[in-house]
Amino acid sequence: MSLRQYIYISTALELQEDDIRSILESCMRHNKEKGVTGLLLYNGRNFLQLLEGEEADLKWVLDRIKLDARHSGISTLEDEPCEQRACPDWLMRHIRLLDDVEDRRKRLDEQLPEVLNPRLRRIILNFASLN
Ligand SMILES: Cc1cc2nc3c(=O)[nH]c(=O)nc-3n(C[C@H](O)[C@H](O)[C@H](O)COP(=O)(O)O)c2cc1C
Q: Which of 10, 101, 5 is nearest to 48 (CA)?
A: 10
**Ligand 1 centroid – CA 29 distance (Å):** 10
68 lines ligand 1 (CB under 6 A): yes
Ligand 1 atom at shortest distance from the alpha carbon of 92: 8
Q: What is the pLDDT of residue 131?
A: 75
Query: What is the block-wise mean pLDDT of the chain (131 residues), using blocks of 10 residues?
Result: 96 91 97 98 95 98 97 98 97 93 94 97 96 75
Domains of the chain: 3-129 (3.30.70.100)
* Secondary structure class of 31 (helix, strand, coil): helix
Sequence-distant (≥ 6) Cβ neighbours of residue 106 within 8 angstroms: none
